[in-house]
Amino acid sequence: MYLRHFGLTQSPFSETPSSQFFLELNNAGILFRELIHAVNQPDGFMIVLGEPGIGKSTLYRKLWKALLSHKSRYIALTLGHPPLTESSLYASIGQELDIARKPAATLRDRVLKKLEVLAGQGKHLVLLIDEAQAIPEKVLEALLFLSEQMQNKRKLVQIVLFAQPEFTEKIARPRLQRLQERITLTLQLHPVKEHDIPQYVTLRLSKCCWQGDPLFTPKAINLLAKASSGVPRVINVLAHKAMMLAYGAGESSVGETHVTTAITETASADQSSIKAGLPWFSR
């Protein structure tokens, strides 16, 4: 890898979501604070929407870790993969709450009983589910049921779903009208603005102990910004590939040529950005 070559402690542009690289350059910081405020309300069924690669999973992990840091108040349950059946939903919750799975027929009742006990102890239960657009209708109905359970006029569980935009079409179906009515907060995650991408790259590098002059040349950053359309996953893919190319060539900085090659090798990048950056006689 190029880490030693560039004097880095870890890969700055890994595709694996990590709260360590949570940056507030788009509206992610605003959304995080809105979610924290919302989970402190007595009622809550929340949805965070965003295109693939926009940073939903990073926000999901950031919220989870924030809730975990206050264990005396919150119990944060995370489902990184959406349950596909009602029984698997209760089994996943039961496993997280250390509830025996058998007999399966009474698992839902035992989960509800456990939630009542936790509420009596002043524990605030928050269920986080990523990739929620894949949740079947039956499971969404089960989540609606859970969201309606109360004790002393307070919900037993609050639910935050992270999903792609097409999720709104699913919950607009007549069968899920009650679920749509129960949603108290819908948030939309946006791309990083073009003028913030240089800072995005710099901040991620600094978290990996980069020191010295800018690693990416201004032209390389400009091309990276245009080709990525501000989508963090695409920025990371292109930056990683460009750094690998610079490393392979034994160069100490990442230039426009490296980013151009990375773009041609990345289907999700805007290929027209290459032509836009070329002189008119080279097009």
Q: pLDDT for 264-280, tens place per residue? A: 999 999 998 886 554 43
**Average pLDDT of the residues in 6-23:** 86
Same domain, 167 and 202: no
- pTM, full prediction: 0.88
Same domain, 212 and 161: no
Q: What is the predicted pLDDT for the residue at 22?
A: 82
Domain limit, last residue, from 142, 168, 188: 188
pLDDT tens per residue across span 188-232:
999 999 999 999 999 999 999 888 888 999 999 999 999 999 999
The answer to whether residue 232 is domain-embedded is: yes
Average pLDDT value over all residues in the chain? 89
pLDDT at 12 over 80: yes
Domain span at residue 249 reads 194-278
Same domain, 198 and 182: no
**Average pLDDT of the residues in 50-66:** 93
The answer to whether residue 10 is domain-embedded is: no
The answer to whether residue 8 is domain-embedded is: no
The answer to whether residue 12 is domain-embedded is: no
Same domain, 92 and 179: yes
Q: What is the predicted pLDDT for the residue at 265?
A: 94
> Cβ neighbours of residue 259 under 8 Å, at least 6 residues apart?
216, 220, 223, 224, 227, 238, 242
- Please say whether the beta carbons of 133 and 167 come within 8 A: yes
Same domain, 88 and 212: no
The answer to whether residue 234 is domain-embedded is: yes
Tokens encoding 33: 């604070």
Same domain, 95 and 160: yes
Indicate which CATH number applies to the domain containing 220. 1.10.8.60
Same domain, 50 and 96: yes
Q: Is 203 left (phi over 0), alpha (psi -120 to 50) or beta?
A: alpha
Q: What is the predicted pLDDT for the residue at 106?
A: 84
The answer to whether residue 7 is domain-embedded is: no
Indicate which CATH number applies to the domain containing 184. 3.40.50.300
The CA-based angle 170-174-179, given to 5 degrees, is 65
**CA dist 157 to 23, 115, 126, Å?**
28, 8, 6
How many structural domains does the chain have?
A: 2
Q: What is the predicted pLDDT for the residue at 283?
A: 39
Q: Smallest Cα–Cα separation from 232: which of 1, 9, 24, 2?
A: 24
The answer to whether residue 15 is domain-embedded is: no
Percent of the chain with pLDDT over 70: 95
